[in-house]
Structure 1
Amino acid sequence: MAHAPTRLAQLTQHLAPSSSSASTSTAPQRAASSSATTGDKASKPARPQPPRASDFRYFLPFQTRWADNDKYGHMNNVVYSLYFDSITNHYLIHQVPRPPSSPPPLGLIVSSSTSYASSLSYPSSIVAALAVSQLSARSVTWRIALFEGEYVPPLAAGEAKGMDGFSLDALREGAVGRRVRVKKDEKSGEEVRAAAWGEMVHVFVEEESRRPLKEMGEGLRGALERLLVKGEE
């Protein structure tokens, strides 16, 4: 019995993990955790840069409306989609030949996505931009963007008419409106990047049956091919 405390102490010491083994067992876990964190940071994709106007092929200026603003003082997200719809339909209405013998096909949206980089708001003007990234037998993938715009200042009296503005006399005659261009950065002088951009897929269907077309007509395909920027990022 006299040896019981000594024996108990020896047994306790034997069962307890040593400091060296504890550090050995935990060190790899810390290293693995550290490497995993490092790997996550390395593999995290960088956010893509908003596109520039040169990435697009068709442009349409808009004047924002007072009703476009929400209570936060900027354009509500749903309004961006309205402008996206407006430029695509503007192009289809004005640039696609319409056969008199048959109704034009309908384009139904099957998917869409939007990325936001900065806010737009009334009373700024905006410039909508359009391109085509993919074209199949019956569908088109639109690339769309909205750029903050600015009104081009009129030329001074007697100044030669140029691409950046109208003469004051022409403005007084009421023959032209105010030109809009993509806003230029005050420091760099370069055109600003898109405030919002995205993609929208239209599948073309027959008007009555709403069944997808077997293939687009030559007029529609030709008009869409003019906007094709396939292979560009």
Structure 2
Amino acid sequence: MNDDYLHWVTVPTRWKDNDLYGHVNNVVHYSLMDTAVNEWMITTAGFDPGTAETIGLCVESHCSYKAEVAFPDTISLGLRIGKLGRSSVRWEIGLYRSDGTLVAEGYFVHVFVGRESRRPVAVPEPIRAEMQKLVVA
């Protein structure tokens, strides 16, 4: 696994994640990446998705597939920040099979907006302070 990722979360695959071809379907990779980002936002940065005045909306995403994974394997997701702007963040995520094989690499770009206005706003300072700890050069 890659030491450039500064936060890790491990999730089991589920029986329903496999598709007709016998491997985890591509849509599951995106769901897992979204889970890793939001797990960090909630547990580390203190983000409350139900009540926060400022929320992050995904404006771009990408996934590059490297190897297959199938139930009942476990996936470890590494998280880092490639770019932190005034109102946006580029989350970078690596997905690794339990044997250490890189399964996929992806990214999400979130723009922080007012919950009501949906207009860009600065990343809230308490969240930004935690995000700084995940930024890689």
Name the TM-score, length of structure 1 as normaliser.
0.55
2:102 corresponds to:
194
> Which blocks of at least 5 consecutive residues in structure 2 are unaligned?
none
AA aligned opposite 1:108? L
From 114, 117, 123, the equivalent of 1:209 is: 117
> Which blocks of at least 5 consecutive residues in structure 1 are unaligned?
1-51, 150-182, 184-191
AA aligned opposite 2:114? E
Matched, 1:144 2:93: yes
If you compute each CA radius of gyration, which structure gives the higher value, 1 or 2? 1
- 1:137 match: secondary structure: coil
1:110 corresponds to:
59
* Cα separation, 1, equivalents of 2:62 and 2:118: 23
Residues 9 and 77 in structure 2, CA contact (< 8 A), matched pair in contact too: yes
Task: Write out aligned runs for 1:1-233 (5 A).
Answer: 52-97=1-46, 103-149=52-98, 183=99, 192-213=100-121, 215-230=122-137
* Cα separation, 2, equivalents of 1:193 and 1:76: 17
* Cα separation, 2, equivalents of 1:135 and 1:79: 26
The structure-2 alpha-carbon separation of the partners of 1:115 and 1:138, relative to structure 1 and needing over 3 Å to count, comes to same
Residues 107 and 202 in structure 1, CA contact (< 8 A), matched pair in contact too: yes
1:25 corresponds to:
none
* Cα separation, 2, equivalents of 1:80 and 1:129: 13
Per mean C-alpha deviation after superposition, the further-off stretch among 52-61 and 102-111 is 102-111
Q: Which has the higher contact order (CA 8 A, sep 6+)?
A: 2
CA RMSD in angstroms, aligned pairs only:
1.5
* Cα separation, 2, equivalents of 1:104 and 1:61: 29
1:118-177 CA-to-partner distances (Å, cap 9, x unmatched) read 00110001101100000000000011011001xxxxxxxxxxxxxxxxxxxxxxxxxxxx
Deviation at 1:193, TM superposition (A): 4.2
Residues 204 and 212 in structure 1, CA contact (< 8 A), matched pair in contact too: yes
Deviation at 1:98, TM superposition (A): 5.1
Deviation at 1:103, TM superposition (A): 2.4
Q: More strand per residue: 1 or 2? A: 2
Name the TM-score, length of structure 2 as normaliser.
0.92
